[in-house]
Structure 1
Amino acid sequence: MGGGLVVEIPGAAPLELVSGVVHLDEERAVFEAMLTGWGRQQRSRLLSEDTVTARVRLLRRFTEFAGSFPWQWTPGDVEDFTVSLMTGTQRLAPSTIRGYHLTLRMFGDFLLDARYGWVAQCEERFDAIPSQVCRDFNTVAHLAEYEGRPQRRPFTYDELQHLFDFLDTRVVQVQRSGRKGAWAAMRDAQMVKTCYAYGLRRRELCTLDLPDLRPNPKMRQWDTYGAVHVRFGKAGRGKVPRRRTVLTAPEFDWVVAGMRQWVEEVRPILGRDRVEALWLTERGQRISVKSMDHRFAWLREQAGLDSDLTLHCLRHSYVTHLIEFGYPERFVTEQVGHSYASTTAIYTSVSNDFKNKTLQAALARVYQEEQQ
């Protein structure tokens, strides 16, 4: 298509700016049209509403910081913005800052793409055109596979035992006190144990429904608790949530009794037979990820555990312990829903005891062969 014709695709300037209309604040009007257009283009790629909203919010924040609009931005504005993010008590992690840079870079690429017509609009209206302000020399490079907080780690076996003992004791104490909430204490305990026993992400845990509990033909005595079907796994960019079935491992078979008690004895007390959500609030609604985060933070504090141990650390513990139990790498990767074994390796942090036993076995094998 020649002649500089702009195709009317999602996010194109002609779809967002009405020809012939004079705006009292033209700069602001064009900027808002850019954001609306980019949001439309992002949604056309099937990105979630939360992702689009967060990215647009960042662009507004950067515009306010720079004190100028996209056709006036410079690489120096990015550098100053980055410095502001790395100073003070609320210093952001490198991975977060890199994510901000990526958003700014993608927005710049969108504006400079001739198919959308924003360069022509800026040149006609402001006698200026936007440029790519995110370059290799002023953005965070992705040099390490894992950039999370180093304080985050798997639970040790002792910490897990302490946490589970605390949860069980809390249920008994609430029951004996005669106070309301014994079933809620049971729910909290079983949610935490299920998160660990199946290596689930927080959203995967909270979105489980009763039909997601599946049998394992090899272990009929577990009834419908031989596996959980995850329907809302982490989605790739612009893709739908990935599904997987996580089998109940024999080392975690203790979760079956707790799950059976919750589903068959405790949950029916709420009288919400028509609600399929596995985990319910006091009002009979599905418990949210945010609510579960708050619940776990409170439980962790009451148990006297390290504040850096989050609910997601239980997933790291699951991966680590499966490796220590001797499961093949491919099995572990499939269980936790990773696309690559290298991602699973990042989650793994085997104990010194496991490494010592592995080394002892290797020494015995090698030196026995030499003596023969």
Structure 2
Amino acid sequence: MSGGADLPGAAHLVLADGVAHLDLETAVFNAMLEGWARQQATRFLSSDGTIQPRISLVRRFASFTNEYPWQWDSADVEEFINHLRARRPSFAVSTGRGYQNILRLFCEYVTDARYGWPRKCYEHFGEAPVQILHEWNTVTHSSDYEGSPGRRPLTYDEVQGLFDAADGRVEEIRKRRRKGALAAMRDSILLKSVYAYGLRRREAAGLDVADLRRNARMPDYGRFGALFVRYGKSSKGGPPKRRTVLTVPEFDWIVDALDQYVDEVRPLFQPGKHPALWITERRGRISLRRVDEAFETARKVAGIPEELDLHCLRHSYVTHLLEFDYPERFVQDQVGHEYASTTAIYSGVSDEYRNRLLHRSLKGRHSALWGHCFD
């Protein structure tokens, strides 16, 4: 194809011929970005969550090189990554790979003759964009988990300490007769719900009162027998995934906490007809940032290591369900993982649990001979 096809993002659809531009180089670059955004939008990628962050990174890279895509070479991206690593010692391998993948995708788009950019650039500037990222200058994916070694599930004592700190903040604000006790109580129950159902941040913030569900098999839990999660992590180009998370007996203390919140705490925010479960003082839905702040505030008071964040509560949920001997498939469904390998990465069972499994295995295998040794 010559580049004249009407593909979404094709050069002739975003950069009209015969128009005199005061700054042709900038006009072509902006048209490239607009075309790439259109091409991604046709794949139903999220504008705010995927497309715009990608566009921003390409602009950031162009600003760093002080050059345009048809002038880039492999040395530019290597210098860019080294610059980021030098400025931020904690720059993660996974982040570097993510940046490289985004730049590679952009280069694939502008070097694809079907979109017409190579021809357009050569006509205007005498040179065309090339792919600058290859196997020899990009990060190799060699490990299932590449996050910070410091991140891990919270221990049972740390979880309890976190919740005690959140509850204690409510009492402290009340004693000082200051505003904020109501929000602190909401935050405390929110954190407990994140742990008791293994929720992601966005899943928790997106809950509505209508998402509280009954479980016919567990009538004692009433309207808190399950949560209907509607904003699960989506696959590329797909809508948010949905799942139902059952309330498990080991975490059934959440039933009383949610009952108190829905009947006593939430009405004090005067939410009116707002559907959100977690309401703010301004009668709106709680923000993702506020969810993070609720965890950070309690974490600092509890003295929990700073590398542990809200998402570690989800890791804790997975780990503790496994330690309670729930089948791996059940745990996988509860947290909405497509693959069992992902659930395995989340888990960090304790030595005590592994010793208990070892003891059980030995007892089953040798009890006929040495039964008295395992009593």
Q: Under TM normalisation by the shorter chain, which class is it?
A: over 0.9
Aligned to 1:114: 113
CA 1:356/1:5 → structure 2, altered by over 3 Å: closer, same or farther? closer
Give runs of aligned pairs for residues 123-272 of structure 1, distance below 5 A. 123-272=122-271
Distance, in Å, in 2 between the alignment partners of 1:222 and 1:363 is 38
How far residue 86 of structure 1 moved from its aligned partner, in angstroms, is 1.7
Aligned residue among 4, 7, 18 for 2:5: 7
Q: What do residues 169-199 of structure 1 show as CA deviations (whole Å, max 9, x unaligned)?
A: 3333434444332221210110000000000
Distance 1:100 1:89, change over 3 A: closer
Q: Does 1:306 align with 2:299?
A: no
AA partner of residue 335 (structure 1): Q
Is the 1:6–1:114 contact (alpha carbons within 8 Å) kept by the matching residues of 2? Answer: no
- TM-score of the aligned structures, taking structure 2 as reference length: 0.95
Counterpart selection for 1:40 from 38, 41, 47: 38
CA contact (8 A) 1:85 1:91 kept: no
Most deviating of 155-164 and 312-321: 155-164
Counterpart residue identity of residue 117, structure 2: W
1:5: Cα distance to partner? Answer: 5.4
Q: Tell me how far apart the structure 1 counterparts of residues 152 and 4 of structure 2 sit (CA, whole Å).
A: 51
Does the aligned pair in 1 maintain the 2:10–2:115 contact within 8 Å? yes
Per-residue CA deviations over 1:254-276 (Å, capped at 9, x if unaligned) read 00000000001111112213011
For residues 302-325 of structure 1, give each alpha carbon's deviation from its aligned partner in whole angstroms, at most 9, with x where no partner exists.
222211121110000000000000
In the alignment, the residues of structure 2 paired with residue 274 and residue 371 of structure 1 have an alpha-carbon distance, to the nearest angstrom, of 66
CA-to-aligned-CA distance 1:13-64 (integer Å, 9 cap, x gap): 0011111112222111111110111111111211112211111111111112
8 A Cα contact 2:3 2:119, kept in partner = no
AA at the equivalent of 1:45: R
CA distance in 2: counterparts of 1:136 and 1:106, whole angstroms: 14
**1:165 Cα deviation after fit:** 2.0
Task: Give the aligned partner of residue 17 of structure 1.
Answer: 15
* Secondary structure of the corresponding residue to residue 87 of structure 1: helix
State the one-letter code of the partner of 1:33. Answer: A
CA separation of 1:203/1:112 partners in 2, compared to 1, >3 Å: closer, same or farther? Answer: same
Match of 1:105 in 2: 104
- For 2:28, the equivalent position in structure 1 comes to 30
Question: Any idea what SS the aligned residue of 2:43 has?
Answer: coil
Helix, strand or coil for the counterpart of 2:244?
strand
Letter of the structure 1 residue corresponding to residue 276 of structure 2: A
Aligned to 2:322: 323
List gaps (5 residues or longer) in structure 2.
Answer: none
For the residues of structure 2 that align with 1:94 and 1:18, how far apart are their CA atoms?
A: 40
| C-alpha contact 2:198 2:335 (8 A) present in aligned 1 | yes
> Take 2:66 and 2:171, find their aligned partners in 1: how far apart are those partners?
59
* More displaced stretch, 66-75 vs 324-333: 66-75
Aligned length: 370
Stretch deviating more after TM superposition (234-243 or 89-98): 89-98
Q: Aligned letter for 2:56?
A: R
Task: Give me the whole-angstrom Cα distance separating, in 2, the residues matched to 1:65 and 1:178.
Answer: 51
With over 3 angstroms needed to count, the CA separation of the structure-2 counterparts of 1:72 and 1:253, relative to structure 1, is same
CA contact (8 A) 2:195 2:314 kept: yes
1:76-125 deviation line (CA, Å, top 9, x unaligned) = 11111121122134541010010010001101111122221111101111
Q: TM-score when scaled to structure 1? A: 0.96
Q: CA deviation at 1:348?
A: 0.4
- Superposition deviation, residue 235 in structure 1: 0.5
d(CA) in 2 for partners of 1:168 and 1:324? 26
The 1-side partners of 2:177 and 2:219 are apart by 37
In structure 1, list runs of 5 or more residues that go unmatched.
none
Deviates more, 1:21-30 or 1:223-232: 21-30
Report the Cα distance in structure 1 between the residues aligned to 2:122 and 2:189, rounded to whole angstroms.
61
* Aligned mates of 1:146, 1:85 — CA distance in 2: 21
Q: Shift of residue 367 of structure 1?
A: 2.3
**Residue equivalent to 2:70:** 71
RMSD: 1.5
The answer (yes or no) to whether the contact 1:111–1:119 under 8 Å persists in 2 is yes
Distance 1:300 1:86 in 2: 28
Please say if residues 231 and 241 of structure 1, whose CA atoms lie closer than 8 Å, have aligned partners that are also in contact.
yes
Q: What's the CA shift string for 1:250-297, capped at 9, x where partnerless?
A: 100000000000001111112213011000111111110112212221
Q: Secondary structure at the match of 1:229?
A: strand
Q: Structure 1, residues 190-219: CA drift from partner, whole Å, max 9, x if none?
A: 000000000000000011000000000011
Quick check: 88-97 or 254-263, which moved more? 88-97
For 1:300, the aligned partner's letter is R
